[in-house]
Each structure stands twice: as C-alpha cells, then as structure tokens.
Amino acid sequence: MSEGHHHAREKSPSELRTMALEALLVERGLISTDAVDAVVELFQNEIGPRRGARMVARAWVDPAYRKRLLADGTAAAAEMGYGGAEGERLVCVANTPDTHNAIVCTLCSCYPWPVLGVPPVWYKSPPYRARMVREPRAVLREFGLELPDTTAIRIWDSSAEVRYIVLPMRPDGTEHLDEEGLADLVTRDCMVGVAVPHVTEGVAA
C-alpha cells in the first residue's frame, strides 16, 4: 500500500468544517442532532439524487442534451443549474445493451455530490470499494441486479479529480411519460450503477 493510501480516509477540510459547524449549532441549542439527521436523509435520498434523475430524464427525451451530457457532464449539469464542490469534473457514462457501468471509489468515497447528494453508507464501506472492482457481477447480484453473462461490466473509479454518473437505459413501456414522470423512475442507485430503472406497477398504465 503506498504512502498516499494511508491518508485516504482522513476527512477533508470541508467535512471538518461541517462537523464543527454542526457541533456548534447543536451545543448552542439552535438545532438538534435529529434535525441534522433528517436534513442529511432528505439530501441523500431526495434532493440530491433528484437532480441527477432530472439530467437522466432530459437525456432520454432530448438527444442533443444527451450528446452534451456524454461530452461534458460538468457543463451539462451546469445547464440545469447544478454544480459546485465535489462536482468540478463530472463524467457521464452510458449503459448500453452490451455494457453496464458502475461507480466506485477505491481509495475513499469520492462521489458527485451536486447531482447525487450525500453518498450512502454502503458506497463508503471497504467491502463495496474492494469487491466492486474484484467481483462486480457478484456485488450487483447482491443488490438485486442480475445481468446477462453477455453484458460486459465496466467499473469507473472516482477520484478527487473526476466523479462519475451513470446514464441508465430508458426502460421499455415509458413512451407515454413526460420528462418529470421519467425522472421519477431514476433512483440514486441507478446512477451509481447498482440498479436499473424499472416501470413500477401502475406507472405504465
């Protein structure tokens, strides 16, 4: 293990500032730890991933935007008003019938915060980080995603320099849905590559 790897789990200056601010606000009685947890939960599962979902839906309905997204993810995100720290260089990779993409950060937990929100606990866990590279098909199966043997799996390793987002394939049976309806089908896990969008019962009716 190289010298740099020993420091991979040290907290960044922005993380340390956030922790200090939270501690101060809680100590002064301005917010509760429950309130902090609720905000984190909201940003992790709703607000953050909803941004990426809107980008995916736009790419599904607008071929020109799809082209721009795949050419320059950062600029395509900025078009929709998304950007900032942890998303300075965003690369979008598209799933195809022959290739499935998934994202990992083998050194720590680099993640495209502006378009996916707060990284989930499992993304930061050492088993996911190690096994996703070594045995991706088995890991995806544990997430409930069974891919055909004929589908190649490509793993993208995020870093401090570049973050990735997966553009999943548009599900069949969604021709009647508008952009907002399509965005509802796209979850955070779809954009990390551990799931694919599905038409839920009742949506396709």
Please, is 76 exposed, middle or buried when counting C-beta atoms within 10 Å of its C-beta (0-12, 13-18, 19+)?
A: buried
- 165 has which bridge partners? 92
Asked if residue 198 belongs to a domain, the reply is no
Domain around 53: 12-192
**Cβ distance 49 to 188 under 8 Å?**
yes
Q: Is residue 3 part of a domain?
A: no
Contacts of 53 (CB under 8 A, 6+ apart): 183, 184, 185, 186, 187, 191
Report yes or no on 30 lying in a domain: yes
pLDDT at 6: 39
Catalytically active residues are 105, 108-110
The total of structural domains in the chain comes to 1
What is the spatial distance between Cα 74 and Cα 81, in angstroms, rounded to a whole number?
10
Please spell the DSSP secondary structure of 77-92, one letter per residue: HHHTT---TT-SSEEE
**Inside any domain, residue 201:** no
What is the CATH classification number for the domain harbouring 119? 3.90.330.10
The answer to whether residue 199 is domain-embedded is no
Give the pLDDT confidence score for residue 37 in this predicted structure.
64
pLDDT computed for residue 200 by the predictor = 73
**What tens-digit pLDDT sequence spans the chain (205 residues)?**
333 443 444 555 656 666 676 676 777 776 666 766 666 665 555 566 899 999 999 999 999 999 999 999 999 999 999 876 655 799 999 999 999 999 999 988 888 888 998 888 899 999 999 999 999 999 999 999 999 999 999 999 998 889 999 999 999 999 999 999 999 999 999 999 999 999 875 444 3
Residue 202 maps to a domain:
no
* Residue 52 resides in a domain: yes
Let me know if residue 157 belongs to a domain: yes
